[in-house]
């Protein structure tokens, strides 16, 4: 969830405030958990609202936060998230938006191969088969754009909000061996990171206990909020808890030795780990053909979208246009119609995310 909002705002979690899939707001005294209410998303304007304000028509398909209003507005067309939606059906609707509804910008999220990756593991045969199936749908989408004469009119950007790494129930960090959750902890969220709010007056004791545990639990790092490394961009927000735990990639936090995860794949680990990285693909009239470059960051996508949509009132962001400028074509480049954009070889891409924009005038 956090990176969904990063992709459409160009801001880090500590800026936009969606700091995890579940978190506590100490001022509102409320827990967020995959909520869709506007108040949680109102800190930073998403690109579709800016586009709407500038007279563009936008659509947001199953995108986290798309139902939330910002300054009383949403995208012109909003399709709420639904589990197990058929990707092919979703894609057909979005192609129709671009072809018939005169939509200038569309974003689409699908929860595969993320769901299969969690269930079967990122390197499983099931995930490979799912990627092949998705590849076929993408090929059909390209053909559809070609049939409708839109191949040189629509830019297609394919991204993901995370990679994925293998996890299993033998790699659990049992925090219950060190702290009593009932007696010492007010609120916690445990996954690849641990967000810990000790009971009033317990902060120093809980921190010292967990810090001491680092010597035996070598697969975790324990931080006081003030000491969270700056490169994580995860500190300056009231929702980030006073104690933050970071698991080594592949390890998960648990409250007790009896808790066993059913997952075989997960994400949310430090993004310096190569398994957390993912793929970005783009094709269309405003992109170079056959060009590859070094990694860009999730925050860099927002200024690129602003440029493709020729928006004049985008807010300043943490993204750099230097990281995406070279992707854009100087000379007109007409992509070859049809075909596939992802080969049947497995690429580390999880949860497919699409942005479509009409071409620059
Ligand atoms: Zn996931």
Residue 359: how many CA atoms within 13 Å on its side-chain side?
Answer: 17
How many domains does one find in the chain? 2
Contact 328, 295 (CB under 8 A): no
Distance 115 CA to ligand 1 centre (A): 6
Distance 333 CA to ligand 1 centre (A): 35
Domain boundary among 262, 295, 318: 262
Distance 268 CA to ligand 1 centre (A): 9
Full residue range of the structural domain in which residue 297 is found: 2-165+272-358
Distance 265 CA to ligand 1 centre (A): 8
Structure confidence at residue 332 (pLDDT): 54
324 phi/psi in degrees, rounded to 5: -120, -15
Domain identity same for 158 and 254: no
Domain identity same for 88 and 127: yes
- Residue 145: inside a domain, yes or no? yes
- Residue 51: inside a domain, yes or no? yes
Domain identity same for 291 and 252: no
Structure confidence at residue 17 (pLDDT): 95
Distance 91 CA to ligand 1 centre (A): 20
User: Which residue positions in the chain have pLDDT lower than 70?
Assistant: 330-354, 356-361
186 phi/psi in degrees, rounded to 5: -80, -45
Nearest to 131 by CA among 85, 82, 87, 81: 87
Distance 118 CA to ligand 1 centre (A): 6
Domain identity same for 191 and 241: yes
Structure confidence at residue 187 (pLDDT): 96
Domain identity same for 225 and 92: no
CATH of the domain at 145: 3.40.720.10
Distance 267 CA to ligand 1 centre (A): 6
Distance 5 CA to ligand 1 centre (A): 15
Q: Which DSSP helix (H) or strand (E) runs through 146?
A: helix 125-147
Distance 359 CA to ligand 1 centre (A): 32
Distance 161 CA to ligand 1 centre (A): 9
Distance 162 CA to ligand 1 centre (A): 8
- Residue 267: inside a domain, yes or no? no
Structure confidence at residue 248 (pLDDT): 97
Which sign, positive or negative, has the C-alpha torsion 280, 282, 287, 288? positive
CA distances to 149, 205, 278, 285, 352 from 330, rounded to whole Å, are: 22, 60, 26, 10, 28
Helices 301-308 and 2-9: crossing angle in degrees, nearest 10, is: 40
- Residue 306: inside a domain, yes or no? yes
Q: What pTM did the predictor assign?
A: 0.91
CATH of the domain at 214: 3.30.1360.180
Domain boundary among 229, 262, 295: 262
Distance 358 CA to ligand 1 centre (A): 30
Structure confidence at residue 341 (pLDDT): 41
- Residue 208: inside a domain, yes or no? yes
- Residue 95: inside a domain, yes or no? yes
Structure tokens at 121: 């593991």
C-alpha to C-alpha distance for 50 and 349, rounded to whole angstroms: 28
Domain identity same for 188 and 99: no
Domain identity same for 141 and 214: no
Domain boundary among 262, 294, 319: 262
Distance 72 CA to ligand 1 centre (A): 30
Where does 10-124 have alpha helices with state H? 13-16, 38-41, 47-53, 87-100, 114-120
Domain identity same for 25 and 109: yes
Q: Which residues contact 316 (CB under 8 A, 6 or more apart)?
A: none
Structure tokens at 151: 């191949």
Distance 245 CA to ligand 1 centre (A): 19
Domain identity same for 115 and 209: no
Structure confidence at residue 348 (pLDDT): 44
Task: Name the residue with tokens 């749908």.
Answer: 137
Domain identity same for 243 and 283: no
Per-residue pLDDT reduced to its tens digit, 98-107: 888 889 999 9
Q: Which DSSP helix (H) or strand (E) runs through 303?
A: helix 301-308
Distance 38 CA to ligand 1 centre (A): 23
Count of beta carbons in the 10 Å neighbourhood of residue 272: 10
Distance 1 CA to ligand 1 centre (A): 9
Domain identity same for 145 and 29: yes
Distance 29 CA to ligand 1 centre (A): 27
Domain identity same for 184 and 257: yes
- Residue 18: inside a domain, yes or no? yes
């Amino acid at each position: 969830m956090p990176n969904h909002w990063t992709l459409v705002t160009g801001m880090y979690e500590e800026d936009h405030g969606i700091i995890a899939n579940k978190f506590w707001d100490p001022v509102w005294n409320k827990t967020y958990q995959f909520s869709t209410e506007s108040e949680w998303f109102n800190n930073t304007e998403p690109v579709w609202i800016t586009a709407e304000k500038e007279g563009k028509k936008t659509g947001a398909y199953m995108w986290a936060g798309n139902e939330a209003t910002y300054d009383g507005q949403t995208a012109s067309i909003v399709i709420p998230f639904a589990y197990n939606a058929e990707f092919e059906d979703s894609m057909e609707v979005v192609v129709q938006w671009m072809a018939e509804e005169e939509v200038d910008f569309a974003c689409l999220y699908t929860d595969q191969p993320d769901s299969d990756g969690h269930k079967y593991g990122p390197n499983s045969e099931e995930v490979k088969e799912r990627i092949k199936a998705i590849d076929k749908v993408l090929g059909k989408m390209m053909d559809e754009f070609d049939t409708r004469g839109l191949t040189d009119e629509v830019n297609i950007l394919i991204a993901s909000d995370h990679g994925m790494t293998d996890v299993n129930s033998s790699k659990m960090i049992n925090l219950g061996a060190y702290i009593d959750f009932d007696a010492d902890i007010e609120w916690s969220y445990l996954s690849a990171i641990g967000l810990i709010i000790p009971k009033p007056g317990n902060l120093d004791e809980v921190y010292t206990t967990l810090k001491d545990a680092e010597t035996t639990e070598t697969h975790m790092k324990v931080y006081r909020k003030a000491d969270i490394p700056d490169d994580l961009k995860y500190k300056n927000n009231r929702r980030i808890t006073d104690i933050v735990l970071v698991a080594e990639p592949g390890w998960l936090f648990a409250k007790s030795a009896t808790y066993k995860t059913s997952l075989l794949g997960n994400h949310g680990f430090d993004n310096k780990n190569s398994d957390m990285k993912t793929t970005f693909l783009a094709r269309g009239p405003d992109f170079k053909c056959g060009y590859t470059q070094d990694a860009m960051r999730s925050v860099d996508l927002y200024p690129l979208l602003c440029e493709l949509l020729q928006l004049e009132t985008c807010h300043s962001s943490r993204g750099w246009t230097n990281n995406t400028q070279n992707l854009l074509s100087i000379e007109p480049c007409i992509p070859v119609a049809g075909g596939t954009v992802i080969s049947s070889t497995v690429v580390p891409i999880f949860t497919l995310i699409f942005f479509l924009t009409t071409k620059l005038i």
